[in-house]
């Protein structure tokens, strides 16, 4: 496993990133995502790449005991953590596995979904179009497919890029909507809605910037001191250090095939 893959699948780093994001952002991404996904009471929901449950937990509460939540992640530790939170809140089913095998992992069940979604995860698949295809096939006739993720430009990635190479997977994630997702959704659905939010990160001290950096998928320990010096100089010029950040949510309905 590469360092990038280790960071991308570590529940601990993910929790630290989610906390650091909450601290540095004005718009609460979780609330924005929840509104966009708009789960309804009794919905059957599939989530691919649930991580430690940023969306899973609030959605489970919204769909309630009459609904069902199937959530998959490659990290067994993350799936157990989410299971502990959502068991009893809804009919919950955690699945540990690689999303590239999504069809096999959920294939034996005849369960279909009102909502199938993935937040900040689908681009980790080797074959994301196949994963999107499986999610689409498992929708109920009026079901909705939603994908959320990062959008360029990304201030923190650009800060790190001044000092070291950025793993290909990061740039792939930033270009995923325009290079893969948009055409897939247009080819397979009658209605596609995309919303993009500008949600810059506001840092008030160098420690918070470095704490965020250490938990990114592009952290390079040998660049840490150099980046830290640069960030300290930035704080000598200003009290608040602001980095651009954008996210998108695309939801598709009216499946064509
Ligand atoms: C950035 S996190 C997002 C988690 C969560 N959806 C959120 O918004 O907080 C990406 C998640 O994708 C999972 N992941 C990465 N590669 C995967 C794969 N091939 N199959 C399934 N899950 C994977 C990671 O373990 C991680 O939990």
pLDDT digits (tens, 9 = 90+) for 24-70: 888 999 999 999 999 999 999 999 999 999 999 999 999 999 999 99
- Regarding the beta carbon of 173 and ligand 1, being less than 6 Å apart is answered no
Nearest atom in ligand 1 to 118's CA? 6
pLDDT at 3: 80
Side-chain half-sphere CA neighbours of 145 within 13 A = 28
pLDDT at 11: 81
Phi, psi angle pair for 33, to nearest 5°: -65, -45
The contacts of residue 175 (CB under 8 Å, 6+ apart) are: 152
Give the ranges where 64-181 is alpha helix by DSSP (H): 76-86, 102-107, 128-137, 155-161, 168-176
Task: Give residue 124 CA to ligand 1 midpoint distance, Å.
Answer: 7
pLDDT at 108: 65
pLDDT at 226: 97
Give the residue ranges of the chain where pLDDT is below 70: 108-109
Task: Give residue 96 CA to ligand 1 midpoint distance, Å.
Answer: 11
Q: Are strands 139-151 and 113-119 parallel, antiparallel or unpaired?
A: parallel
Rounded-to-integer distance, Cα 42 and Cα 114, Å = 9
Phi, psi angle pair for 116, to nearest 5°: -120, 125
Distances (CA, A) of 61 to 41, 57, 65, 87, 139: 9, 6, 8, 11, 21
Task: Give residue 237 CA to ligand 1 midpoint distance, Å.
Answer: 37
Q: Does domain 3-149+167-198+245-255 have CATH number 3.40.50.150?
A: yes
pLDDT at 18: 82
Instruction: State whether residue 205 is helix, strand or coil.
Output: coil
Instruction: Confirm if 244 and 151 have CB atoms less than 8 A apart.
Output: no
- Regarding the beta carbon of 73 and ligand 1, being less than 6 Å apart is answered yes
- Domain ranges (residues) in the chain: 3-149+167-198+245-255
- Regarding the beta carbon of 67 and ligand 1, being less than 6 Å apart is answered no
pTM: 0.95
């Amino acid at each position: 496993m590469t360092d990038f893959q280790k960071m991308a699948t570590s529940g601990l780093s993910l929790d630290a990133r989610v906390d650091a994001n909450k601290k540095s952002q004005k718009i609460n991404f979780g609330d924005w995502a929840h509104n966009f996904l708009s789960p309804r009471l009794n919905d059957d929901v599939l989530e691919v790449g649930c991580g430690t449950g940023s969306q899973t937990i609030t959605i489970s509460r919204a769909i309630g005991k009459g609904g069902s939540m199937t959530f998959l992640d490659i990290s067994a530790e993350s799936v157990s953590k989410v299971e502990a939170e959502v068991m009893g809140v809804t009919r919950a089913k955690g699945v540990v596995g690689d999303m590239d095998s999504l069809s096999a992992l959920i294939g034996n069940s005849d369960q279909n979904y009102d909502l199938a979604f993935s937040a900040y995860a689908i681009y980790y698949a080797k074959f994301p179009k196949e994963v999107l295809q499986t999610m689409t096939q498992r929708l109920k006739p009026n079901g909705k497919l939603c994908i959320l993720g990062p959008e360029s430009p990304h201030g923190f990635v650009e800060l790190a890029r001044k000092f070291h190479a950025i793993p290909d997977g990061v740039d792939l994630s930033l270009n995923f909507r325009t290079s893969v997702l948009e055409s897939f959704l247009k080819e397979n659905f009658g209605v596609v809605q995309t919303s993009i939010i500008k949600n810059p990160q506001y840092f008030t001290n160098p420690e918070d910037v470095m704490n965020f950096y250490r938990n990114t998928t592009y952290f390079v320990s040998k660049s840490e001191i150099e980046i830290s010096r640069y960030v300290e100089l930035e704080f000598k010029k200003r009290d608040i250090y602001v980095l651009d950040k954008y996210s998108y949510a695309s939801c598709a309905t009216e499946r064509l095939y």
